[in-house]
Chains A and B, each alone.
Chain A
Amino acid sequence: MDLLTISLTLGGLLLVLLAAGLWVALALMVAGLAAIFLMVPVPPGAVMATTVWGSINSWDLAALPMFIWMGEILFRTRLAEDMFAGLAPWMRRLPGRLLHVNILGCAIFAAVSGSSAATTATIGRMSLPELRKRGYDERMAIGSLAGSGTLGLLIPPSIILIVYGAATEQSIARLFIAGVIPGMMLAALFMGYTAVWSMINRKRMPEADPRIPYLQRIWQTRRLFPILALIVGVIGSIYGGFASPTEAAVVGVVLSLVLSWFTGTLSRATFVDALRNASRTSCMIVLILAGASVLTVAMGYTGIPRALAQFIAEQGYSPYALLAVLTLFFVVLGCFLDGISIVVLTASVILPMVEAAGLDIIWFGIYLVIVVEMSQITPPVGFNLFVIQGLTGHNILKVAGMTLPFFLMMIVAVALIVLFPQLALWLPQTMLAR
């Protein structure tokens, strides 16, 4: 079979399985097995077993259940009320008011979690009911959540940047530092859009809460300080080179338990509940990673991604045109594959081309992550959309529609990063100068 036929066959198979309601991880595995079976004379089952074993048996991946567990514990500490009581009085003068809590909350949580699904789930579970209670526009509440939830990929510690660093043999510390400014810029873009939207749509904004004097505000924020200290501790230990992400995550779990004990929310029931939920959620994500690893190996056998990349390379574009095509390519690929698979699949294939075009590899990592963030909120395989579908019960197409303006903001961010590469490269350079 030629490549085009096989691509269409596999794509069609995956779409049918997903549409019929087969679990995403299993659908990825079936498509991978089919590709191996059709294209190469190796036993698909044996390849699947060794591939999954190799990809899940990982020290770095152990950070995943720990960060999720930490979120589950923090979720049971009345963090929602604390976050609102603490952040809300400071947002009163900002157009968009408490919608910004969504964005800032995600940015803050992204700083302790490497996953956008965990960020979206944790902040959303806290903020969506509060925003609904106060009568905020549901489209904006959900859209801003889905958009800023993707900050989990960019603001360190980020699992996907670790994957990229390993695949391209770049310094993970430099990648982390490079992600800081673009991450903050993206959050600022989201806040800017929210502010403009709410100035135009004044009628759809609920009444502001009454003004609160400064001393009282600080008093209301007091319960956020332990959480901020926890975040500074977790990030600081990674930045300071004192702990690996897995270690920092475990320290985070322990500190969250301590925090939960002090606030009187730690009981046998909440502990077991948090642990069970963490176990189930991380199992789901790990199984998807397992499915993606099977599909990744299968794709390597078929040579489809290589052919696609070669095709793009042969067109002889300028760097800007090249990046425009790549962005489109990644977003389309992101409709079918998860971010980590995209990074792994394309890093080795696209990279020689990127280097030949004179682009910086660290910079390309940040660019790739923002584009992958965009694919997190595009159907049919947008992780954040699934998470929000789980949170709200709205189907993913509806959620995707609500998220569209924030998707456009991300395109603006990509354009800014392309036009001003120093946004990503300046901080790592100062790090080197020291």
Chain B
Amino acid sequence: MRKILDGLYGAAEWLAMAALCVIAILVFAQVLGRVVDTVFALFGLPPYGFLVPSLAEIAGFLLVGASFMALAGSLRGGAQIRVTLGLAAMPEGMRRVAEVFVLVVGAALAGFFFYYAAKLSLDSHRFNELSYGIVAIPLWIPQAFMALGLGIFAIALLDDLVAALRGRPASYLANEDGAAEEL
């Protein structure tokens, strides 16, 4: 079970990282195209006019994918920010109660958000909503990645809730305290 869950978080994070790489590659291709045109213009040649179609929209979609697929990894890596001031001031027993409380609230919120994000994606699919650009992309695809990322986020929060209830330290605590590495 542990292996399956870690594999899930890892795979989601790799997808997020791949999405960032694709943004960089597409945008850089567009810039190179413009540089080539500028050089052509210097020699009095007509511009080649290389264009990555619908780049702005695609980059926006990839950003959504990258951000939501990274949720679980960023939670477990301790990158998600929270106020630890109150926790630090609490006695041990109360801190454990607070930890369980925020994990319950977090998991419930993530599950709730997942449900409505999935609904948004299903509605877009049902009404066949497309993006406006030259390349019409069905909106349900990036929206499905938003929902998927939220689902994995909810699982990661439940994972840590189970750990907290069993009296084990949550995954993010290891990196949160010595967060100098992370941020």
Closest to B101 in A: A20
Task: Kindly list chain B residues whose C-beta atoms are within 8 Å of the C-beta of A246.
Answer: 27, 59
Task: Kindly list chain A residues whose C-beta atoms are within 8 Å of the C-beta of B81.
Answer: 23-25, 284, 288, 386, 390
Extra 13 A-B pairs, beta carbons < 8 Å, given A50-B120, A52-B113, A284-B79: A20-B101, A45-B119, A49-B117, A52-B117, A53-B143, A58-B60, A253-B24, A282-B70, A283-B70, A286-B63, A286-B67, A389-B84, A395-B84
Of the candidates B20, B21, B30, B80, the one whose C-beta lies within 8 Å of that of A247 is B30
A49 lies within 8 A of B113 (CB): yes
Cross-chain pair count, CB within 8 angstroms: 203
Closest to A20 in B: B98
For residue A124, give the distance in angstroms from its CB to the closest CB of chain B. 9
Q: How far, in whole Å, are A396 and B87 apart by their CA atoms in the complex?
A: 13
Q: How far, in whole Å, are A17 and B102 apart by their CA atoms in the complex?
A: 8
Main secondary structure of the interface of A (DSSP, over half): helix
- A408 in contact (CB, < 8 A): no
- A348 in contact (CB, < 8 A): no
Task: Kindly list chain B residues whose C-beta atoms are within 8 Å of the C-beta of A29.
Answer: 109, 113
* 17 pairs of residues in contact across A and B, judged by CB atoms under 8 Å: A18-B82, A20-B87, A26-B109, A45-B115, A48-B116, A57-B142, A65-B63, A69-B20, A250-B23, A275-B17, A277-B79, A281-B74, A282-B66, A287-B74, A390-B81, A393-B178, A396-B85
Closest to A61 in B: B63
Residue in A69, A272, A277, A390 with the greatest tally of chain B CB atoms within 10 Å = A390
A22 lies within 8 A of B17 (CB): no
B12-31 CB mask vs A (1 if < 8 Å, else 0) is 01001100110110011011
Task: Kindly list chain A residues whose C-beta atoms are within 8 Å of the C-beta of B178.
Answer: 393
Q: How far, in whole Å, are A69 and B120 apart by their CA atoms in the complex?
A: 30
Task: Kindly list chain A residues whose C-beta atoms are within 8 Å of the C-beta of B92.
Answer: none
Closest to B29 in A: A250
Task: Kindly list chain B residues whose C-beta atoms are within 8 Å of the C-beta of A22.
Answer: 82, 102, 105-106
A279 lies within 8 A of B70 (CB): yes
A46 lies within 8 A of B71 (CB): no
Knowing A53-B146, A391-B180, A397-B85 are in contact, say whether A284-B80 is a contact too (CB < 8 A). Answer: yes
Task: Kindly list chain A residues whose C-beta atoms are within 8 Å of the C-beta of B84.
Answer: 21, 389, 395
A280 lies within 8 A of B28 (CB): no
- B62 in contact (CB, < 8 A): yes
- A6 in contact (CB, < 8 A): no
- A74 in contact (CB, < 8 A): no
B71 lies within 8 A of A283 (CB): yes
Of the candidates B66, B88, B113, B146, the one whose C-beta lies within 8 Å of that of A279 is B66
- A392 in contact (CB, < 8 A): yes
B82 lies within 8 A of A21 (CB): yes
Task: Kindly list chain A residues whose C-beta atoms are within 8 Å of the C-beta of B24.
Answer: 66, 69, 250, 253-254
- A59 in contact (CB, < 8 A): yes
B88 lies within 8 A of A392 (CB): no
B79 lies within 8 A of A392 (CB): no
Task: Kindly list chain A residues whose C-beta atoms are within 8 Å of the C-beta of B80.
Answer: 23, 25, 283-284, 287
Task: Kindly list chain A residues whose C-beta atoms are within 8 Å of the C-beta of B13.
Answer: 276, 279
- B159 in contact (CB, < 8 A): no
Interface residues of B in 8-48 (CB under 8 A from A): 13, 16-17, 20-21, 23-24, 27-28, 30-31, 34
B179 lies within 8 A of A280 (CB): no
B79 lies within 8 A of A65 (CB): no
For residue B139, give the distance in angstroms from its CB to the closest CB of chain A. 9
For residue B7, give the distance in angstroms from its CB to the closest CB of chain A. 16
What residues of chain A have their CB less than 8 Å away from a CB belonging to chain B?
17-26, 29-30, 33, 45-46, 48-50, 52-53, 56-59, 61-62, 65-66, 69, 121, 125, 242-243, 246-247, 250-251, 253-254, 272, 275-284, 286-288, 380, 386-387, 389-393, 395-397
Task: Kindly list chain A residues whose C-beta atoms are within 8 Å of the C-beta of B105.
Answer: 17, 22, 26, 30
Task: Kindly list chain B residues whose C-beta atoms are within 8 Å of the C-beta of A69.
Answer: 20, 24
What residues of chain B have their CB less than 8 Å away from a CB belonging to chain A?
13, 16-17, 20-21, 23-24, 27-28, 30-31, 34, 55-57, 59-64, 66-68, 70-71, 73-75, 77, 79-88, 98-99, 101-102, 105-106, 109-110, 112-113, 115-117, 119-120, 142-143, 146, 177-180, 182-183
Closest to B178 in A: A393
Q: How far, in whole Å, are A58 and B64 apart by their CA atoms in the complex?
A: 8
Of the candidates B62, B67, B102, the one whose C-beta lies within 8 Å of that of A21 is B102
B57 lies within 8 A of A287 (CB): no
A280 lies within 8 A of B182 (CB): yes
Q: Sorted from nearest, which 5 A-B pairs have the closest CB atoms? A: A283-B70, A45-B116, A19-B86, A59-B56, A280-B79
A21 lies within 8 A of B119 (CB): no
Task: Kindly list chain B residues whose C-beta atoms are within 8 Å of the C-beta of A253.
Answer: 24
Task: Kindly list chain A residues whose C-beta atoms are within 8 Å of the C-beta of B34.
Answer: 242
A56 lies within 8 A of B83 (CB): no
B64 lies within 8 A of A57 (CB): yes
Of the candidates B23, B85, B101, the one whose C-beta lies within 8 Å of that of A65 is B23
A24 lies within 8 A of B82 (CB): yes
A45 lies within 8 A of B28 (CB): no
Task: Kindly list chain A residues whose C-beta atoms are within 8 Å of the C-beta of B70.
Answer: 279-280, 282-283
Task: Kindly list chain B residues whose C-beta atoms are within 8 Å of the C-beta of A19.
Answer: 83, 85-86
Q: How far, in whole Å, are A280 and B106 apart by their CA atoms in the complex?
A: 18
For residue B38, give the distance in angstroms from its CB to the closest CB of chain A. 8
Of the candidates A46, A242, A254, A287, the one whose C-beta lies within 8 Å of that of B28 is A254
Task: Kindly list chain A residues whose C-beta atoms are within 8 Å of the C-beta of B83.
Answer: 18-19, 21, 24, 380, 396
B183 lies within 8 A of A23 (CB): no
Of the candidates A24, A53, A247, the one whose C-beta lies within 8 Å of that of B31 is A247
For residue A334, give the distance in angstroms from its CB to the closest CB of chain B. 15
